[in-house]
Amino acid sequence: MAFVDYRDPRPVYEQIVDYYEKLILTGAMQPDDRIPSVRQTAAEWSINPNTIQKAFSILEERGYIYAVPGRGNFVAETGDLLKQRIERFLEDEEKNIREAKAFGVKKSQMEDILNRVFGSDEA
């Protein structure tokens, strides 16, 4: 699968967790959507089932999915998780921007980046 990068220093299970978190938080997977089984996912992606199970366990601990015994794993309601993720992201970016400022990056350079990503008309 394209999302697993074997050159990435992070373990495969972390990459799987990130993959599903992004799918869920961006709305590509909706609440109560069924997630393919561990066995099915492992076979499709040629990844050890234990690795898939570890990723699914982390997703469940974090509140992204829930398990229904005998039925499988399903996407949980994640409205609060998205808000928390955005807050953490903004805090991290503020730290990064402060560091960039300390290195001499100009406000106009940061604005150029934001304009490339968001477009110059967006507030």
Quote the tokens at residue 110: 């940061």
Domain total of the chain: 2
User: Do residues 68 and 109 touch, judged by C-beta distance below 8 A?
Assistant: no
One domain, residues 20 and 52: yes
One domain, residues 39 and 64: yes
pLDDT digits (tens, 9 = 90+) for 4-15: 888 889 999 999
Q: Which of 48-57, 68-77, 82-91 has the lowest mean pLDDT?
A: 82-91
pLDDT digits (tens, 9 = 90+) for 60-84: 999 999 999 999 999 999 888 888 8
One domain, residues 69 and 84: no
One domain, residues 16 and 71: yes
Helix (H, G, I), strand (E, B) or coil at 40: helix
Longest dimension (CA), the chain: 57
Tell me the helix, strand and coil percentages in the chain, rounded to 5. 60, 10, 35
pLDDT top residue among 8 and 95? 95
**Sheet with strand 34-35: strands edge to edge:** 34-35, 72-75, 65-68
One domain, residues 92 and 68: no
In a domain, residue 6? The reply is no
Residues of the domain holding 65: 12-77
